[in-house]
């Protein structure tokens, strides 16, 4: 890394359950922003990590604008994890910096699916927020998926991956995309948000990562049943 630029140390990642509780307030902020219909631009001037080294030298990644009602509650400006700082990162690393994706990022690791985020043609990641997972699954159900039923977990994650690095406008223009699970998803809307499969909405779209786009969504896709509110441990 070029001197004297020094990237901040990555914070210790909390446990999955603790992080979901800790992020409840953040999710609430995002919901209130959604009602207000606001948008944001996260083209920060002080990236971190690999992008920080690039700005000190040459070939700095282009500033990355993100759009949607939750964006204002996420890292921006010179904060670690701001959109510009993630543009050159591998997608699995970029996911780690987004504080409302702890469940999704943990699921990718638990399922051993990091390699599927490195398709030669790029990949589009439709990442449900922690709040979206809490609305879909009980903690008992999530524990079962993470520990005992990883084939089902991999199938669920593939419902959220699309071949090719597609921007929000690309998705809307296509009108329909096919996930790596083989499911066709209808895409409608435009502007700062889009609706997927008549079920989920983008809440902060167009994060760039190396050969990838990440769109945060507010519901879990796929056909697994809703189990939130059931079992011995509920959200």
Residue 92: per-residue pLDDT: 97
pTM of this prediction? 0.74
Q: Which ranges of the chain would DSSP assign to H, the alpha helix?
A: 16-22, 24-36, 49-56, 83-86, 91-96, 102-110, 130-136, 139-147, 150-158, 168-174
Q: What is the pLDDT of residue 42?
A: 39
**What is the predicted pLDDT for the residue at 88?**
95
Lowest mean pLDDT across 92-101, 185-194, 222-231: 222-231
Instruction: Tell me the pLDDT band of 191, cut-offs 50, 70 and 90.
Output: confident
The pLDDT value given to residue 64: 67
Q: What is the pLDDT at residue 231? A: 63
Mean pLDDT in residue range 172-196: 96
Q: Residue 22 is encoded by which pair of tokens?
A: 């800790």
Angle between helices 102-110 and 150-158 (to 10 degrees): 120
Q: In the predicted model, what is the mean pLDDT of residues 92-98?
A: 97
Q: Please, which pLDDT band fits residue 232 given cuts at 50, 70 and 90?
A: low
First CA to last CA distance, the chain: 42
Question: What residue ranges define each of the domains in the chain, with the CATH number in brackets?
Answer: 16-217 (2.30.180.10)
Mean pLDDT of 42-55: 38
């Amino acid at each position: 890394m070029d001197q004297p630029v020094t990237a901040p140390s990555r914070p210790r990642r909390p446990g999955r359950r603790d992080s979901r509780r800790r992020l409840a307030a953040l999710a609430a902020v995002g919901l209130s922003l959604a009602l207000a219909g606001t948008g944001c631009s996260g083209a920060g001037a002080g990236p971190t990590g690999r992008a920080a080294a690039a700005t000190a030298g040459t070939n700095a990644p282009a500033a990355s604008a993100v759009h949607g009602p939750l964006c204002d509650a996420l890292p921006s400006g010179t904060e670690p994890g701001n959109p510009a700082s993630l543009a050159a990162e591998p997608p699995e690393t970029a996911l780690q910096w987004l504080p409302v994706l702890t469940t999704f990022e943990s699921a990718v690791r638990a399922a051993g699916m990091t390699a599927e985020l490195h398709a030669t043609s790029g990949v589009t990641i439709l990442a449900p927020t922690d709040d979206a997972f809490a609305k879909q699954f009980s903690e008992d159900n999530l524990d079962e998926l993470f520990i005992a039923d990883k084939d089902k977990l991999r199938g669920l994650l593939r419902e959220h991956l699309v071949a090719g690095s597609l921007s929000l406008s690309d998705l809307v223009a296509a009108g329909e995309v096919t996930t790596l699970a083989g499911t066709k998803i209808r895409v409608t809307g435009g502007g700062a948000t889009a609706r997927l499969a008549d079920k989920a909405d983008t809440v902060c779209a167009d994060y760039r990562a190396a050969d990838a786009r990440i769109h945060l969504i507010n519901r879990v896709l796929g056909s697994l049943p809703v189990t939130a509110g059931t079992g011995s441990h509920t959200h």
